[in-house]
Structure 1
Amino acid sequence: MRLPTEPGPAHEASLAVARRAVELGVTLIDTAYMYGWGANEELLAEALHPYPDGLLITTKVGVARSGASGEWKLDGRPPVLRAQVEQALRRLRVERIELLQLHRIDRETPLADQVGTLRDLRTEGKIGRIGLSEVTVDELNQAREIVDVASVQNRYNLLDREHEPVLAACEAAGIAFLPWRPVAWGETGAKAEIAAVAAEVDATPTQVALAWLLGRSPVILPIPGTARIDHLEENLAAECLEMTPVHRDRLDRLPEVA
């Protein structure tokens, strides 16, 4: 999402970031139609196609531009979802999207129509697995009555645990939980405690936040975004960060920030 796609030096830097991520062992890259209205998907294809074995590019559909102003709105009508999947296949240069996620549930379209369309596209071989984004436990359960759900992508981080029940439901069902906005800073006191833990484990606050997520549940797969190689390398180094149970307990007790 954060990678610039406009022509010029920033575009070349974006290609380098994507390629470096794969060099460092990243096996899942998250994109969406909404990220540049397809431009981000095209950028990833330019950078990485033909894709190496084991690399999964996941994209999202269900958001459309509307009106002369180009404002975005949720649109989960079956013809729109079908068209966006076909466009994503073309932009990503693949015959099947291994993980396709519904960007948001469109409240004006029956949920059964939305996930049913994705189920049909899976049957047709155009989708491998189906995921959801920003859902409640009840919505997840409703969707699972219609189709197998492989992933959920909700906002979740050290200081924002609103979707803790959804994480618990995913863990119980063996569904991957991909927290977006995995790093977020809140009130001064919370930031000070995170900084203190970071100093004690010789890491950055960002690395502490990501390491906390990685240790929170075996189904969590954080998807931090960046447009810089140094930030990318900093993020990935969080995987090797070791924190004691005492450190984790201090972080667990941090207040959520609205």
Structure 2
Amino acid sequence: MFKKIIASAVFFAVTVLTTALPMSALTLNVNGTSLDCYAENGITYAPVRYFADLYEGYEVSWDQQSRRANISGNGLTLDIYPGKYYSVANGRCLMRDGLNSSRQGRVYAPVTVLAEAVGAEVEWDQKTRSVTVTGGGSSLASGSGYYDQDDLYWLSRIIQAESGGESFMGKCAVGNVVLNRVNSSAYPNTVKGVVFDKNYGVQFTPAANGTIYNTPSEESVLAAKACLDGFAKSGKILYFLNPRIAQSSWIVNNREYIFTIGNHDFYA
């Protein structure tokens, strides 16, 4: 199941990847209407209110206390948080490797997130440097029906136990390690199986010391949802460690270093 989820999410994201382009060099068309946009670090962003206004049945609001924009209607509740990587839609966590933003009083979000939330399709034309969104106006499947609850239970807990003090991206990277193992023939094919795997010794310390059973924070649950919804910082990473407290050098000496996030080094 995870192979299908991750593969489809990666394909969806790749179709709209762009290089960092100035605002004037990129065009966005939503069902025949041109819309303001910008691209940053390979992600195309659109203004949330103007995007939603192109569809019937959606209302857009701003909550100053929680500092979030909301799109509601047609069976959708979408919360977009400027300065965060994720948006929450019908209990699901939609995430790209770029922050939601606020520019000149407007909230911007990745076009792919907005399109996914409203059930639209996205295409990128390299020749014309244009992003085209077609269709939409339907509701997104709810998190309660979309996520396997056993997978969510164990993934959120291993994320909390291993990276509760890390950034949101750091939490997601730990979740990626678990799901990458699920997708590898070298490891068990379930989240719980990976977490409690003892081949070649205990793989995750929290499974041995009991901290795996601690209640996860809201952010750890969101990170688990983002991973289960297809976000992958890297599809290669299979190991991580904190080099300041690691008691073994096997990973460092035998695996390929990929990147560092916070206190953790990640390896393939």
TM-score (norm. length: structure 2):
0.24
Please identify which structure carries the higher strand content.
2
Please identify which structure carries the higher helix content.
1
TM-score (norm. length: structure 1):
0.24
